[in-house]
Amino acid sequence: MTDFAAIILAAGKGTRMKSDLHKVLHPIAGKPMLMHLLDSFGELSPRRTVVVVGDKREQLDEALADRDITTALQEPQHGTAHAALQAREPLEGFTGNILVCFGDCPMVKAETVTRLTAALEGGAKVAVLGFRPDDPLQYGRVIADTDGTVRKMVEFKDASEEERACDLCNSGLIVAHSDDMWPLLDGVSNDNAQGEYYLPDVATGAIARGDTVKVVETDPAEVAGINSRAELAAAEAQWQSFKREEAMAGGATLKAPETVFFSWDTELGKDVVVEPNVVFGPGVKVADGTHIKSFSHLEGATLASGVQVGPFARLRPGAVLEEDSFIGNFVEMKEATLGKGAKASHLSYIGDATVGEGANIGAGTITCNYDGYFKYHTTIGERAFIGSNSALVAPVTIGPDSIVAAGSTVSRDVGAGELRMVRAEQMVKQGWADRFHDTMKKKKAAAKAKE
């Protein structure tokens, strides 16, 4: 198989986003659109990847710091072909197929790139990716024969009325072997309405010298560029739709699919039931047979088989629910493990804690894990029973089979099988309430009489 390298163009200012964040770093399903593209290309094991940068370069350098990716600066900016040429030095010595694409097309699939490179193996010197949108708008046009042989590539501003009537549009993705790509890029001129060096002229140059150029078509949704907040929202909706279909095809039940929102890395097992209005943040793994009820929010959580969550539950990073455990309404967990069969049915906060198998956490229980400077751990033993409205002041250990009485504030360890009751002495004053009400009624009547 021929080696593969990718050049991703991300030097534009993205002014229509009206943002201090670089356009290609805006997230879809919690992951920057550029990272979606890089991960897709990663499936093809590229030998090298170069991101061409310009405006807000420092943001891209920081975002790519932990990846084996080179950035190349385009300054000044004289068009897309000029941008691609900036990658020549980082790709010096590379021999193989080179793909050039835009960083704001996050939906491009690895299989599509494979189809493009297959056209080169079939004899084409250049392959371009085309699509047929419902409204061609001002996309550049691809004039091609029925067998996909390209006769002309033309930007909308330079196209004739006849050419504009063609509905086969240029996505901006182009691939050629390095032996062809660099000479063709060098041959691009700026003799056009904008005075810029256009990337599609790589194909035009190949046609002029008698080479075969092929167009490979794909779904418009795959190559939709993102230049505004509205287009970002549309891409998010498209991605979520794909993910919902994938989840249901994998054996999950989504009772109201359009109300469930996934992160890019959400993992759902078989026979998982997800009720309406559930949101998955990054890092959630859900095993088979789990039931997540309405209005729950999960992030960085791991759920074993048979777990029930919600409704109105919040699982934060580090929450681990073991087999058949249960989190009910208005319960929040963070950096805590709920053991097998354990339950916290309602109105509790469980943070920095380990809850043993079969333990019961009563309503209103709080693990007091933070003193304003440091976090501390709470350990609750197997089958322990924590009564309602209890405060467990960490660090503290509640032993197996022990009982903490309702309304207790526990600041010292509780031994196995013990009952811990921490309450103020009950004081009774007979008739006090009656006298109080009588006095206050008289005062109110007197005040009203003076009005």
Q: Could you write out the DSSP letters of every residue in 247-275?
A: HHHTT-EESSGGG-B--TT-EE-TT-EE-
Q: Per residue in 279-334, pLDDT tens? A: 999 999 999 999 999 999 999 999 999 999 999 999 999 999 999 999 999 999 99
Is 287 annotated as belonging to a binding site?
A: no
User: How far is residue 315's CA from residue 327's CA, in Å, rounded to a whole number?
Assistant: 9
In a 3-state reduction of DSSP, which class is residue 379? strand
Is 389 annotated as belonging to a binding site?
A: no
Is there a contact between 339 and 325 (Cβ–Cβ < 8 Å)? yes
Has 297 been annotated as catalytic? no
CATH number of the structural domain 4-223: 3.90.550.10
Per-position b or e across 177-199, b if 16+ CB within 10 A of its CB: bbebbbebbeebeeeeeeebbbb
Is 221 annotated as belonging to a binding site?
A: no
Entry pTM: 0.86
In CATH terms, is domain 229-420 a member of 2.160.10.10?
yes
User: How far is residue 246's CA from residue 252's CA, in Å, rounded to a whole number?
Assistant: 9
- Nearest CA to 290 out of 276, 271, 277 is that of 271
Distance of CA 92 to the CA centre of its chain: 34
The token pair that represents 419 in the structure block: 């009952």
| Cα dihedral across residues 55, 58, 62, 67: positive or negative | positive
- Catalytic residue, from 22, 82, 291, 346: name it: 346
Is 12 annotated as belonging to a binding site?
A: yes
What are the extents of the domains in the chain?
Answer: 4-223, 229-420
Q: Where are the alpha helices (DSSP H) in 187-269?
A: 201-208, 229-249
Is 313 annotated as belonging to a binding site?
A: no
Residue carrying structure tokens 């022990």: 402
DSSP 54: B
At residue 1, the pLDDT reads 64
Below-50 pLDDT ranges, the chain: none
Is 423 annotated as belonging to a binding site?
A: yes
> Cis ω on the peptide bond leading into residue 400 (within 30° of 0)?
no
4-223 and 229-420 share one fold? no
Is 383 annotated as belonging to a binding site?
A: no
User: How far is residue 334's CA from residue 185's CA, in Å, rounded to a whole number?
Assistant: 54
User: How far is residue 250's CA from residue 244's CA, in Å, rounded to a whole number?
Assistant: 10
Is 388 annotated as belonging to a binding site?
A: yes
Ranges of beta strands (E only) in 242-358 are: 253-254, 267-268, 273-274, 279-280, 285-286, 291-292, 297-298, 302-303, 308-309, 314-315, 320-321, 326-338, 343-355
Is 301 annotated as belonging to a binding site?
A: no
Is 60 annotated as belonging to a binding site?
A: no
At residue 15, the pLDDT reads 86
Is there a contact between 345 and 363 (Cβ–Cβ < 8 Å)? yes
